[in-house]
Structure 1
Amino acid sequence: MAKKKITKEDISKLLNIHWNSVANKINGSSSFTVEEASQIRDAYFPEWKIEELFQKSADK
């Protein structure tokens, strides 16, 4: 996100949810739905496989 200058606010507008909800999902307090993950990938990271994009950092 930082490399592409994508903010939590950008993602919240895309998903039509509060930016705080996006922060919770990014931090692991809650999860992105498959549909949300797909929207984010399609809009901002089409070059990534969805499995790689949403892989937990401990798994990398």
Structure 2
Amino acid sequence: MYRNLEAEMVREGISRKDLAELLEVRYATIIDKLKGKFGFTLDEAFKIRNSFFSDLSFEYLFEVTTTSAS
């Protein structure tokens, strides 16, 4: 999961639909990628960062977080 990316999207008012349009993929594809079912390609990640979050580090924005089952 990309918690930092999703948090920044909320802060900046960027929707999942905005990402889908930017990357020219289906909305469902963005959902799958944000949930971690599939990863973003390097090109996609740079496109997102450069288009919406140029002031944030790539490492922060695309840090992968996992949930632990306790």
**Structure 1 gap segments, 5+ residues each:** none
Structure-2-length-normalised TM-score: 0.79
Q: In 1, Cα distance between the equivalents of 2:28 and 2:15? A: 12
**Structure 2 gap segments, 5+ residues each:** 1-8
Structure-1-length-normalised TM-score: 0.91
How many Å apart are 1:41 and its aligned residue?
0.1
Q: Which residue of 2 aligns with 1:56?
A: 64
Q: In 1, Cα distance between the equivalents of 2:54 and 2:62? A: 13
Name which one, 1 or 2, has greater alpha-carbon Rg. Answer: 2
| Identity rate, percent | 29
1:10-55 CA distance string (max 9 Å, x none)? 0000000001100100000000000000000001000111111000
Q: Whose RCO is larger (CA < 8 A, sep 6+)?
A: 2
| Aligned-residue CA RMSD (Å) | 0.9
Runs of 4+ in 1 over 2 A off after TM superposition: none
Number of aligned residue pairs: give it: 58
